[in-house]
Amino acid sequence: MQDIFPHGETQVLNTDYKKLRMIDKIKNLSGEIEALKATTEKEIEELRIKYLSKKGEISQLFGEFRNVPNEMKREVGQLLNELKNSATDKINSLKGSMQAEASSGNDMDLTLPASPIKLGSRHPLSVVKNEIIDIFTRLGFTISEGPEVEDDWHVFSALNFPEEHPARDMQDTFFIEKNPDILLRTHTSSVQVRVMENEQPPIRTISPGRVFRNEAISARAHCIFHQVEGLYIDENVSFADLKQTLLYFAQEMFGKETQIRLRPSFFPFTEPSAEMDVTCNLCGGKGCNVCKYTGWLEILGCGMVDPNVLKSNNIDSEKYTGFAFGMGVERIAMLKFGVNDLRLFFENDVRFLDQFKAAY
Ligand code: PHE
């Protein structure tokens, strides 16, 4: 009897059929997996179980793989492995994008210690200014303040600077263009004029404040800086009082062992005038590069109030005498803290300012 389905043929049909079924299934699954979406961890885990667990759809295909005829195993096996790999990748990428989303959103960990609140601190110039004020208020000085934009009278004329006198050039002045009578004060002596206008002796006052001079900005000078000036007017005020007051100030500010020396100088509003040096607080007077190997540092100008100044301000110069002094706050701060560039005080870099926190 003739076999209409010789063994070989049947086998071929059978084989193609099985192979096609497997390949279709793999393709379908592969498309399905490619399109998977999930937003929660639970959903992703359900998909993993559906496709990749021991009883999952891909594992089932591996089970069916046993029935694939030997000669097809290579091709189908390769497709199956690819399917398994791409499904694993897909699940992992779903997990990855979910975690990325989670960390970009609500990632607050309430158990972490709070970051410390950064406290500000006083500016070193304020620290020094307050210390100067403290020292003089202990001696009974009051504090007086006045305007930064002043007139010629209070800054110069009332202080015995004659008009056109070269002494006016000692302090390079910013004038207001439209009215040269109005200017930015070059020293706070102007405040003392205002005090003398309004009060009769005894006067014992210091005037801290900001002053302006048309100077090139460098490590040692600035066009804006701060002063504390002092004025003491009473009966029988002598140069000895001036000297003792300033010695007390120097020792309170720089230490008990500090010595002072007074060198003759000139200011229009004082006669005699002097500049005061203190022993260098860095080398103790032995000599170093801060005091330029002299052992001394200049810190202020001073003198006995010129009778002309008292007269200009309607104070009886026969009855009263007085002394005055003036110092730069920046200069004292530089010497006290060992700061070698005055500009640092104005840059307000917190890394610089923070360093004065510990001390005060
Ligand atoms: N006013 C002077 C200055 O600014 C300082 C000073 C004040 C000098 C009082 C003597 C007396 O340079």
pLDDT given for residue 186 in this prediction: 95
Cα of first residue to Cα of last residue in the chain, in angstroms, is 117
Q: Count CB-CB contacts under 10 A for residue 171.
A: 18
Q: Does ligand 1 come within 6 angstroms of the Cβ of 189?
A: yes
Residue 19: pLDDT band with limits 50, 70, 90:
low
Domains and CATH numbers, the chain: 7-104 (no CATH), 124-356 (3.30.930.10)
pTM as predicted? 0.69
Strand ranges (E), the chain:
142-143, 149-151, 175-176, 179-184, 203-212, 224-234, 260-267, 270-279, 296-305, 321-328
pLDDT in tens, 332-346: 999 988 898 999 999
Q: Does ligand 1 come within 6 angstroms of the Cβ of 187?
A: yes
**Using CA atoms, how far apart are residues 247 and 75, in angstroms rounded to an integer?**
104
Q: Does ligand 1 come within 6 angstroms of the Cβ of 268?
A: no
pLDDT in tens, 126-171: 999 999 999 999 999 999 999 999 999 999 999 999 888 877 877 7
Q: Does ligand 1 come within 6 angstroms of the Cβ of 322?
A: no
SS3 (DSSP) at 143: strand
The number of the ligand 1 atom at minimal distance from the alpha carbon of 328 is: 4
